[in-house]
Structure 1
């Protein structure tokens, strides 16, 4: 179950970063509430995952999910660059997350 909590936590991290972008420097209240809710979800579920998964593995995976997911979502929602080199490095992050999942704990 800890791995599911970690996945939910990573998705909360992606949501939090996305809402930060949408909040326009915390000037818009609805996305600002989204930041707070997403951040709570992210940290709460990370704390549940840390009960069973070593901190180095969990934090690496949480960060990787957040980083890769945020970049990919930025490409879709905010029309950010889709340069092949950028996609290659995102693939490396994803490979690192998968490696940590299977060999880190």
Structure 2
């Protein structure tokens, strides 16, 4: 049977990436609409994360949320802010993704 917790986790990761990527556009929360977007995105993020953790073990959910959030925010910073990660950063992101896949595939938590 399909575990809907992973859909909640995906929503949480996506909204966390959105909120974190938009923080720079708020200019210290001095601009209204980017600030509202950040607050809404983080609210949805934590709501969805709590729903995900009702069916996914906390350690698995949190590690996937953190890892894929890091990779997602880095990719967004490349697109939105023209930031260029160097080789160590790219290699670290590959390791994060590999760790998430290994944990999700082989963990019996």
Cα deviation code 1:63-97 (max 9, x no counterpart): 11111100111011101013222211111111111
Structure 2: gaps of 5 or more residues: none
- The TM-score with structure 2 as length reference comes to 0.90
- The TM-score with structure 1 as length reference comes to 0.93
Contact in 2 for aligned 1:11/1:65 (Cα 8 Å): no
Q: CA deviation at 1:103?
A: 2.4
Q: For residues 8 and 37 of structure 1, what CA distance do their matches in structure 2 show?
A: 13
Q: For residues 10 and 101 of structure 2, what CA distance do their matches in structure 1 show?
A: 12
Where does structure 1 differ by over 4 angstroms across 4 or more consecutive aligned residues?
none
Higher-Rg structure is: 2
Alignment of 1:78-89 (within 5 A): 78-89=81-92
Name which of structure 1's ranges 87-96 and 54-63 shifts more when overlaid on structure 2: 87-96
Structure 1: gaps of 5 or more residues: none
